[in-house]
Amino acid sequence: MTSSRPPNPRRNDGCTLDLDWLGGLRVNRNASDRRAASLAARRSVKKEHQAAWLIQAVRCMDLTTLGGDDTPGRVDRLCRKALRPLRADIAEALGVSGVQVGAVCVYHEMIAPALRSLGGCDLPIAAVSTGFPAGLSSFETRLREVELSVAAGAREIDIVITRQHVLTGDWQTLYDEVRAYRQACGEAHVKAILATGDLVTLENVARASWACMMAGADFIKTSTGKEAVNATLPVALTMLRAIREYAEQTGYQVGFKPAGGVSSAKAALQYLILMKEELGIEWMRPQLFRIGASSLLTDIERQLEHFVTGQYSAAHRHAMP
């Protein structure tokens, strides 16, 4: 295997906000819960198939550090791990080379250290923005933050929406807000964080997903990772079905990013299976699927070493930032 990437899908230009469509959206919570439970109960992929899927999960990972104690040194270690996420002996035993994660995700202040560490390679930097994680600074400040992160070299911007617009049903303001962020991003891709744990209902998740996609979001993302409840399978199912229908209606392929709490190889496989069954194999690539994670990579490496050697290693054998 090589590190070559298939071409990016066409950018999502968005469309006119359709308030009647949003108002008519309904989600069957019981059916969503049953569908999600079926994934957990089902026999997972095994042996060499599981190894191949886990390697793809690594390729689709946004390797992330978003701590108040982040330093340039920590970001340097993150970037080095992003470029070589698998231990050399494991990669050699699996017969793979050139495996990299999908992107590194950092705060604005860490973009410059990340660029230095990456040394001009093609790995994208994703910057969280717009008053992450609460998104409650002034709109002018949030917009300027986007512009500054793009100018600093971020190729992807993870914006947080204003949750009160969803909770009060102010879809026009939410649409206008995301549309402004999309314009400020220029060529950088927009990943809209819905903070689904704060949105109360799956109908709100569905409507927020549609409003952000109509406004031009290239990805919709579950969570900041800072809410009490982050990525869950019923929420993911709701968002994926919105993505599928949006693609059918507009022709634009929007990506999906679960984030927050996806810390085990088993969970990563469940999201990959859900992507395949709901959207198809074409969506199971970094251009359309990312997993926001940090500790997940350690568990995936441990599972891959078990496949190679038949034994589980201690977590400290797998270097992390």
> For residue range 59-89, what is the model confidence (pLDDT) as tens digits?
999 999 999 999 999 999 999 999 999 999 9
Q: What is the pLDDT of residue 6?
A: 56
Q: What is the pLDDT of residue 4?
A: 44
| Domain CATH number, residue 177 | 3.20.20.70
The residue-averaged pLDDT of 198-223 equals: 98
Q: Are strands 156-160 and 125-129 parallel, antiparallel or unpaired?
A: parallel
The residue-averaged pLDDT of 215-234 equals: 96
Would residue 184 count as lying in a domain? yes
Predicted confidence band of residue 320 (pLDDT cuts 50, 70, 90): low
Q: What is the pLDDT of residue 321?
A: 60
Which is higher by pLDDT, 90 or 321? 90
Structure tokens at 177: 């807000």
Residues 219, 188: Cα–Cα separation, whole Å: 12
Would residue 142 count as lying in a domain? yes
> For residue range 267-281, what is the model confidence (pLDDT) as tens digits?
999 999 999 999 999
Predicted confidence band of residue 314 (pLDDT cuts 50, 70, 90): confident
Active-site residue numbers? 158, 221, 257
For the ranges 24-28, 34-38, 145-149, 194-198, which has the lowest average pLDDT? 34-38
The residue-averaged pLDDT of 176-184 equals: 98
Would residue 9 count as lying in a domain? no
Residues 10, 133: Cα–Cα separation, whole Å: 28
> For residue range 45-61, what is the model confidence (pLDDT) as tens digits?
888 999 999 999 999 99
Which is higher by pLDDT, 39 or 260? 260
Whether residue 36 contacts residue 237, with contact meaning beta carbons closer than 8 Å, is answered with yes
Predicted confidence band of residue 185 (pLDDT cuts 50, 70, 90): very high
Range of the domain at 265: 19-309
Whether residue 206 contacts residue 244, with contact meaning beta carbons closer than 8 Å, is answered with no
Cis peptide before 133 (omega within 30 of 0): yes
Q: What is the pLDDT of residue 44?
A: 74
Whether residue 125 contacts residue 106, with contact meaning beta carbons closer than 8 Å, is answered with yes
Would residue 161 count as lying in a domain? yes
Would residue 63 count as lying in a domain? yes
Would residue 93 count as lying in a domain? yes
The residue-averaged pLDDT of 199-212 equals: 98
Would residue 317 count as lying in a domain? no
Q: What is the pLDDT of residue 313?
A: 79
Would residue 180 count as lying in a domain? yes
Instruction: Please give the tally of structural domains in the chain.
Output: 1
pLDDT at 152 over 50: yes
3-state secondary structure of 189: strand
Predicted confidence band of residue 247 (pLDDT cuts 50, 70, 90): very high
Long-range contacts of the stretch 81-86 (C-beta < 8 A, 24+): 81/297, 81/319, 81/320, 81/321, 82/118, 82/123, 83/118, 83/121, 83/123, 85/58, 85/61, 85/297, 85/301, 86/55, 86/58, 86/301, 86/304
Give the mean pLDDT of the chain.
Answer: 94
Q: What phi and psi, each to the nearest 5 degrees, are found at residue 273?
A: -60, -45
The residue-averaged pLDDT of 173-188 equals: 98
